[in-house]
Amino acid sequence: MPTEATAELVGSPDLHIKSGSTLRLVCKLHQSTEAPVYVFWYHEEKMINYDKERGVSVHGDKSSSSLVIAEAQKSDSGNYSCVPSNAKPASINVHVLNGEKPAAMQHGSRSSASSLKVHLPVTFCSWYCLFLLLLLVRKTLHHSSGPSRQPRIPSEPMFRVFR
């Protein structure tokens, strides 16, 4: 039984871009034996292949399709899907950010893992230091709030002087 053709959006599941930059999505077809009759692109539920007002252009060949939006705006954020006539569709979440691209929001899942590797030891050290500080405070309070210790006055002298 032949394997079913699928589409893949490069950079999925999330892509972060700066407002005003060009949004370029590439839909690659896998296991396809022939070129699709069409590839429809959707932003949320709306087909946008012919949305020239927004600066949308679509280009394709037998193994891929590209969607380009010149000068992406915040309103271009959301879920995008490529739906080829002969393959399972693919989706990506696009985040158009105002200002610079935050370092923690690199696209792809690899940065999330590397970000976790950096933050996990810092978080652990912070909690460990807090734990030690609380132990120190508890010990200090325990000694200072405990029963006051009066010097012991022995009932008998500790040393006897023999004559």
pLDDT tens per residue across span 40-87: 999 999 999 999 888 999 999 889 999 999 999 999 999 999 999 999
Give Cα 120 distance to the centre of its chain: 14
pLDDT tens per residue across span 121-145: 444 445 444 455 556 667 767 666 5
Q: What is the pTM of this model?
A: 0.60
Which residues are CB-contacts of 1 (< 8 A; sequence separation ≥ 6)? Answer: none
Question: What are the E-state strand segments in 31-147?
Answer: 39-43, 46-47, 56-60, 64-69, 78-84, 90-97
Greater model confidence, 41 or 1: 41
Query: What is the percent of the chain with per-residue pLDDT over 90, rounded to a whole number?
Result: 52
DSSP states of 60-88? E-SSEEEEEESS--GGG-EEEEEEETTSB
